Amino acid sequence: MRDAGEESAPLSRIQRMNRERILDAALDAFSERGFSGATLDRIAEIAGLSKPNLLYYFASKEAIHAALLTELLETWLAPLAQLDPEGHPRAELLAYVSRKLRMSRDMPRESRLFASEIFQGAPRLGDTLAGPLKRMVDDKAAVIARWQAEGRLTPDLDPHHLVMSVWALTQHYADFEVQARAVLGPERDPWAEAEGFLAAFYGRVLAR
Amino acid sequence: MRDAGEESAPLSRIQRMNRERILDAALDAFSERGFSGATLDRIAEIAGLSKPNLLYYFASKEAIHAALLTELLETWLAPLAQLDPEGHPRAELLAYVSRKLRMSRDMPRESRLFASEIFQGAPRLGDTLAGPLKRMVDDKAAVIARWQAEGRLTPDLDPHHLVMSVWALTQHYADFEVQARAVLGPERDPWAEAEGFLAAFYGRVLAR
DNA sequence: ACAAATCTTGACCGGATGGTCAGGGGGAAG
DNA sequence: CTTCCCCCTGACCATCCGGTCAAGATTTGT
């Protein structure tokens, strides 16, 4: 039961490896089937470990889930954090869209895990959403508002909603990939087209 | 076992009422917890019926889920179906956004149910997505493409992606409502602001 | 009012699932 | 090489959950 929270001992080589395998397998399972739909047996199978062995590294199924979410949040905030207050408004925002889209494309499992959690009322992320996440968005929204006040960006779009629109559009390609593929047909590749579309889309939105 | 598919007998008053109560309760449960997370006991409790009684009206948990999805699809396609090829391009598209947003606002449970299904690879909707849904979108995309060819709409936005952007943005407010509330803070109402924001947003996107 | 059909339920079942435990293996320090 | 501790596992358990069933309650048609 050496799980959770503050590690005191510095994790052996074998511990690091197995924790990694477990978390990766769990990400597969949770993102595909949701928390309830994922079973410890399935996670163990994907990880190539025995079920009791999972529970040697993590106290419970919930603990695995919690570990994934905690790890995820740092990653998820990164693209927005990089928005540079001193940069060129339009270029900065377009670069942000591009980063966020790339992240959704490269980490669809993480995207779905995050979404699933929000769907269920974010029981485990509630505080983090209202805390660090809100602070980060407030911070960047203030930057955007300043750009607007300086006349360097259209003033008629609320900054908070503008940021959320980026989340919505980029996550959509990850979370609803099946739908996008169905609608576009087997010949077209959603991801390949998404970048160009979003660039043109936000190009128009952000035009002076 | 009088469930599923084509009804032959015309459903008694009490049958209609109980089926309705069950489906409504199931919508609550499925949209909150996903398919695996929702239990028959919980659905029965919400519906105010006994579990065996549920299974008198529906053959199985899956049958309830399937009934919900089937019913949902017609509703979900309606706003797009109303897009009028003979109307004014910009006005038609803005009206579509407005209708879709209103539907997400008034039917968040349905929105989440739909999203959950897509998340899991749409095992039950796969064919419908590639069939009726794709046809509908292709149809409307052709209308938009015609508008673009006629010079009545900016030509540099792919019609299919444009439609999907509406889905992404409107569903976001429903599916991620918890997140939106957290980010905006307790004082602000996401839904109240969404309409104005999306109007301004698409106003710019669709400007000539 | 009576019988037939419909509706409802408590009790129960088998399998899946999260979690436990006592003990066996294997690597690292000496 | 040995020892000790970390690592691992088969077997097992309690609970939950979807689903069944036989019998009782209610409604409906006449």
Query: What are the pLDDT digits (tens) for A88-107?
Result: 999 999 999 999 999 999 99
The token pair that represents A85 in the structure block: 């207050």
Q: Is the CB of A20 under 7 A from strand C?
A: no
The token pair that represents B79 in the structure block: 């706003």
Helical ranges in chain A per DSSP H: 13-37, 40-47, 51-57, 61-81, 89-106, 108-119, 126-128, 134-149, 159-175, 177-184, 190-205
Instruction: Report the pLDDT value the prediction gives residue A73, as an integer from 0 to 100.
Output: 84
Q: Give contacts of B 44-103 with A, CB under 8 A.
A: none
Chain B CB within 8 Å of residue A184 CB:
yes
Per residue in A11-49, is it b (16+ CB within 10 Å) or e — as a string? Answer: eeeeeeebbebbbebbbbbbbbbbbbbbebebbbebbeb
Instruction: Report the pLDDT value the prediction gives residue A3, as an integer from 0 to 100.
Output: 38
> Count of CB atoms within 10 A of residue A135's CB?
12
- Which residue in the block uniquely carries the two structure tokens 């695996």? B36
| Contact between A112 and B119 using a beta-carbon 8 Å cutoff | yes
| Contact between A172 and B178 using a beta-carbon 8 Å cutoff | no
Confidence of residue B8 (pLDDT cuts 50, 70, 90): low
pLDDT per residue as tens digits for the range A129-187: 888 899 999 999 999 999 999 999 999 999 999 999 999 999 999 999 999 999 999 99
| Residue B25 CA to its chain's centroid (Å) | 17
Through-space separation of residue B90 CA and nucleotide D27 C1' in angstroms: 57
Q: Which residue of B has its CA nearest to A125?
A: B179
Strand D: positions under 7 A of a protein C-beta atom = 6-11, 16-22, 27-28
Q: Give contacts of A 123-162 with B, CB under 8 A.
A: 126, 129-130, 133-134, 137, 154, 156-158, 160-161
Average pLDDT over residues B69-95: 93
Residue B133 CB contacts under 8 Å (≥ 6 apart), including other chains: A179, A182, A183, B73, B77
pTM above 0.80, yes or no: yes
CA B128, CA B53: separation in Å to the nearest integer? 30
Q: Give contacts of A 35-54 with B, CB under 8 A.
A: 35-37
With H, G, I as helix, E, B as strand and everything else as coil, classify residue B36. helix
pLDDT per residue as tens digits for the range B125-171: 888 888 889 999 999 999 999 999 999 999 999 999 999 999 999 99
Nucleotide with minimal C1' distance from the CA of A63 is: C18
CA A202, CA A94: separation in Å to the nearest integer? 7
| Residue B131 CA to its chain's centroid (Å) | 17
Average pLDDT over residues A72-87: 92
Average pLDDT over residues A193-200: 96
Through-space separation of residue A63 CA and nucleotide C19 C1' in angstroms: 13
Gap from A153 CA to chain B (nearest CA, Å): 13
Residue B203 CB contacts under 8 Å (≥ 6 apart), including other chains: B94
pLDDT per residue as tens digits for the range B10-39: 777 888 999 999 999 999 999 999 999 999
Q: Is the CB of A4 under 7 A from strand C?
A: no
- ipTM score assigned to the predicted complex: 0.89
The token pair that represents A61 in the structure block: 């199924």
Minimum mean pLDDT range among A64-68, A118-122, B108-112, B189-193:
A118-122
Gap from A40 CA to chain B (nearest CA, Å): 14
For residue B134, give the nearest of A156, A185, A201 by CB distance. Answer: A185
Residue type, B101: L
For residue B179, give the nearest of A35, A116, A118 by CB distance. Answer: A118
Q: How many residue contacts between A and B have a Cβ separation below 8 Å?
A: 160
Minimum mean pLDDT range among A27-36, A38-47, B8-17, B62-71:
B8-17
Q: Which residue of A has its CA nearest to B169?
A: A168
CA A110, CA A14: separation in Å to the nearest integer? 25
Long-range CB contacts (within 8 A, 24+) of B84-89: B85/B143, B85/B146, B89/B144, B89/B147, B89/B152, B89/B153, B89/B206
Instruction: Report the pLDDT value the prediction gives residue B4, as an integer from 0 to 100.
Output: 37
As separate numbers, helices (DSSP H) first and strands (DSSP E) second, chain A gives 11, 0
| Contact between A169 and B171 using a beta-carbon 8 Å cutoff | no
For residue A36, give the nearest of B36, B134, B171 by CB distance. Answer: B36
Average pLDDT over residues A59-70: 96
Chain A residues closer than 8 Å to B197 by CB: 157-158, 161, 165
